[in-house]
Amino acid sequence: MDNILHRKIRVGISACAYGSKTRYNRKGWDLVSEFGRDMSNFIWCPLCPEVMSGMGTPRSQIRIQGESGRDVIEGRAKIVARNGDDVTEDIMFASNLCMDILRRSEVDAFIYMDGSPTCGIERTTLKNNRAGKPPGVFGAMLLEEDIFLIPALSLASPVRRWDYKRRLYAYVWAKSQELSNKNDLYQFWHNVKFLCQELDEKESRVMGNRIANSEFSPELAAELKAFVTTLMKKPSTLEKIKNRLWKHYVYIKKTQGAEISEIMEPQDNRNMHHIAMELEAIEKFAFTNDVLFGSMPARSR
């Protein structure tokens, strides 16, 4: 069992986060170019439910009149435009259409623009730091799907971008693995256990003990895959990432006798850009020398 992704990752994205000027005021931001050389590992599917509703851009701003986008879907709330038009039917039509397109595209992940009454998940407005009435209509539909969700604005932070990238790679890799015997289970777990422990130490110990003490069964294999793919959706923290970075570096130094010049001592002060640079340096070393970097268990070709 190798830890290589053998296909490109398919990613849906709110079009305005992909650089398209599709917002109501004809604005948009390119939040993905920072992936740099990793861009070639993805196939993108940008879409904008509000434009696809027929409203175009520029357009009147819309808001949820009622509790949330979920209530809109269930017929208990409406979407109204600032000019007073009821656009519920248009947004519902376009959100369903976009979901159909994402299913046809077989996307693994979706990068959503938060702060929108349509694509938002934690927020449906960006006004005065309010959350609005989350989730938005399309956001509520995304939450029902088994896909990896990424808030577009988090990609502006280099460390968070790295964290999303390595968990997404591991998620796609884990989903693609066939686990047919005990050896498969062991190898699979060996690859992902360090990252699992970083994300949830307690539950990962429980899972590790189960694998060690159980006979192979298809049910256990399915449970293990579900455990890992669910856990990969959970963001890590800066402290945990830094801590694991140092542990892996010490291990690599000891076993490979290698020094990586970019990596600083744990107590040294450095900014997020430098930490991301250290993570990428150890990632590169591990991949070039075919050493498992437990913080990033799956890699592209």
Among 12, 49, 66, 139, binds ligand SF4 (CB under 6 A): 49
Report the residue number, 33 or 289, with the smaller CB distance to ligand SF4: 33
Report the residue number, 45 or 252, with the smaller CB distance to ligand SF4: 45
Question: Rounded to whole angstroms, how far apart are CA atoms 297 and 194?
Answer: 8
Among 50, 90, 108, 163, binds ligand SF4 (CB under 6 A): 50
β-bridge partners, 71: none
Residue 116 found at the interface with ligand SF4 (CB under 6 A): yes
Between the alpha carbon of residue 239 and those of residues 86, 203, 233, the distances in Å are: 47, 19, 18
End-to-end CA separation in angstroms for the chain: 15
Q: State the nearest-atom distance from the C-beta of 48 to ligand SF4, in Å.
A: 3
For residues 178 and 184, is the Cβ–Cβ distance under 8 A?
yes
Question: Rounded to whole angstroms, how far apart are CA atoms 272 and 208?
Answer: 32
Residue 62 found at the interface with ligand SF4 (CB under 6 A): no
Among 23, 123, 244, 299, binds ligand SF4 (CB under 6 A): 23
Residue matched to tokens 């895959």? 225
Residue 119 found at the interface with ligand SF4 (CB under 6 A): yes
Question: Rounded to whole angstroms, how far apart are CA atoms 250 and 219?
Answer: 37
Q: State the nearest-atom distance from the C-beta of 14 to ligand SF4, in Å.
A: 4
Residue 48 found at the interface with ligand SF4 (CB under 6 A): yes
Residue 79 found at the interface with ligand SF4 (CB under 6 A): no
Footprint of ligand SF4 on 221-250 (CB under 6 A) = none
Question: Rounded to whole angstroms, how far apart are CA atoms 229 and 235?
Answer: 13
Question: Rounded to whole angstroms, how far apart are CA atoms 152 and 154?
Answer: 5
Q: In this chain, which stretch among 48-56, 202-210, 260-268, 280-288 interacts with ligand SF4, using CB under 6 A?
A: 48-56
Footprint of ligand SF4 on 204-223 (CB under 6 A) = none
Report the residue number, 140 or 211, with the smaller CB distance to ligand SF4: 140
**145-151-153 Cα angle (round to 5):** 165
Report the residue number, 27 or 284, with the smaller CB distance to ligand SF4: 27
Report the residue number, 15 or 282, with the smaller CB distance to ligand SF4: 15
Among 14, 125, 197, 204, binds ligand SF4 (CB under 6 A): 14
How do beta strands 78-81 and 62-65 pair?
Answer: antiparallel
Query: Site size for ligand SF4, by CB under 6 A?
Result: 13
Report the residue number, 58 or 266, with the smaller CB distance to ligand SF4: 58
Residue 95: Cβ-neighbour burial (10 angstroms; 0-12, 13-18, 19+): buried
Give me the count of residues in the chain: 301
Residue 168 found at the interface with ligand SF4 (CB under 6 A): no
Of 196, 182, 253, 178, which Cα lies nearest the Cα of 2?
178
Binding site for ligand SF4 (CB under 6 A): 14-16, 22-23, 48-51, 113, 116, 118-119
